Structure 1
């Protein structure tokens, strides 16, 4: 814990679990006040049907040393987002960091299914959840972010720009959703530049999210037990790793050098000298290109 972000206000949109929760907690560990949003609360679950709640995330932020504030929000509902930003303005009078991490389309995705066989409504709703939510949130939140120079917008995605341009992401809708978010950082960077604000797209590597751990039948404490069946899982990282990446960006007074770019938790770890919880620095995207895609035997030597 440090006070590098003491007095700063962040909004992590889509912080119920996974990368969003990891980012929120690590911003809190640097002393920030963090508003966390999502659709799953202790009273109601979204169609994700997962047990994690935004209240739990807010409590983790506070326990880490920050001030966590949970606000139930559906980021497809414009009025809810507008009211959220008005509340932040009313209570804090500023917004220093906006993290667009809204997703929630996992139940809609049909992997390895061509576009003509993929359920159309599910595919189109995936794009709304992945892209419209980010645009709606930016529309209402960025006027508050640019009120003071130096604001940071982070668009969370899956895959570096180079990787997403060179690889099909197993379904048209997921493929389009993730590369669109790469582009959102670039285009919003151009619009934010005159206001002294920075926009960057950040991707984790192979994330040990709650859903991933459940799917492999392991926990964060014994995740290596999954390596017998999934040997390349050895390059995976905890949500704290990408959280520390975003916190490092937010605390960097020279963060504007990243504006318009897509970067990864692995790259940022090399620049800012932070580690994952186990003391390693997994460089997942380089590993995927140089080892996994080349059908090499799983070996993380030199990659974490």
Structure 2
């Protein structure tokens, strides 16, 4: 699948899912602007390339064009300046925005298992400033460029099943559910501009799970779909897109689906029972929603 001539932005692409997505967009031929935090010290920057710059080089090696930009996604003035500079550099073209930047991994780990009222309430800001507020700001600035250019566009918010019911802590679940709602509501207003906006739920990344590049394959496939507007506003599971578009992970394997009954039984400890359930048997989306905390 080719994205030659297209220009993308992937936030938070120094490592992990963001890096995997950026690499796959580059492999498909896109010019990919990637953002990440500056090296922690001048010493680190003098030792060698940062992880962000290394990712940009790998994008170029794979056939695209990687452009690294240091952006502090906790500072909305800096975010706004990045998009202003981007618009000048590209002549006002933006085809794909992937909102992936996140900073709360350590905060979530430090407070795991603790009631929300026992730790600093400012954890909320750590979890949802970059992971939600920043995504809204990036979406605003990206939409201005896309609408002005008159070209169709794709906005992907990397979310998770944590928006369904309690996971990790209160701030995390609220933020993920809000991010899914952000995608849905933005889609309502951008539909007339032919800009597709979705939430993407990657699967698990432990043993027998997805690699960090599998979500990138899903986005490449979606970007190549001339009928993708039928999906705007929806939550999309990476493995569902793999089945629909016929792609596999970089290791040649089709990862487990979050909605697969055998996968859910296995993760719940019912290992022997799971062996007798075909992998293609999935729980319908409406059943998952009905069992969530939303009702």
> What TM-score range do you get, normalising by the shorter chain?
0.7 to 0.9
Alignment partner of 1:263: what SS?
strand
Report the Cα distance in structure 1 between the residues aligned to 2:43 and 2:112, rounded to whole angstroms: 24
Task: Tell me what 2:271 maps to.
Answer: 297
Task: Tell me what 2:222 maps to.
Answer: 249
2:78 aligned with 1:104: no
Matching of residues 123-202 of structure 1 within 5 Å: 123-146=124-147, 147-159=149-161, 164-165=163-164, 167-202=165-200
Report the Cα distance in structure 2 between the residues aligned to 1:63 and 1:81, rounded to whole angstroms: 27
1:283 CA displacement: 2.8
Worse-matched range after superposition: 284-293 or 169-178: 284-293
Asked if the contact 1:154–1:200 (Cα under 8 Å) also holds between the matched residues in 2, the reply is yes
Task: Tell me what 1:220 maps to.
Answer: none
Report the Cα distance in structure 2 between the residues aligned to 1:42 and 1:117, rounded to whole angstroms: 30
What RMSD, in angstroms, separates the aligned Cα atoms of the two structures?
2.4
Asked if the contact 2:163–2:174 (Cα under 8 Å) also holds between the matched residues in 1, the reply is no
CA deviations 1:117-154 (Å, max 9, x no partner) are 13212233212121111012112221112223310000
Alignment length (residue pairs): 269
2:255 aligned with 1:282: yes
Alignment partner of 1:245: what SS?
helix
Query: How does the TM-score come out when normalised to structure 2?
Result: 0.84
Task: Tell me what 2:292 maps to.
Answer: none
1:90 to 71, 76, 88: 88
1:295 CA displacement: 2.5
Structure 2 residue runs of 5 or longer lacking an equivalent are 281-295
Worse-matched range after superposition: 84-93 or 252-261: 84-93
Query: How does the TM-score come out when normalised to structure 1?
Result: 0.81
Asked if the contact 2:208–2:256 (Cα under 8 Å) also holds between the matched residues in 1, the reply is yes
Task: Tell me what 1:270 maps to.
Answer: 243
Task: Tell me what 2:213 maps to.
Answer: 240
Worse-matched range after superposition: 265-274 or 53-62: 53-62
Alignment partner of 1:74: what SS?
coil
1:45 CA displacement: 10
Task: Tell me what 1:58 maps to.
Answer: 56
1:293 CA displacement: 5.3
Asked if the contact 2:71–2:78 (Cα under 8 Å) also holds between the matched residues in 1, the reply is yes
Task: Tell me what 2:29 maps to.
Answer: 31
Report the Cα distance in structure 1 between the residues aligned to 2:89 and 2:221, rounded to whole angstroms: 25
Alignment partner of 2:122: what SS?
helix
Instruction: Give the direction of change, closer, same or farther, for the CA distance of 1:244–1:42 in structure 2 (3 Å limit).
Output: farther
2:72 aligned with 1:74: yes
Instruction: Give the direction of change, closer, same or farther, for the CA distance of 1:42–1:65 in structure 2 (3 Å limit).
Output: farther
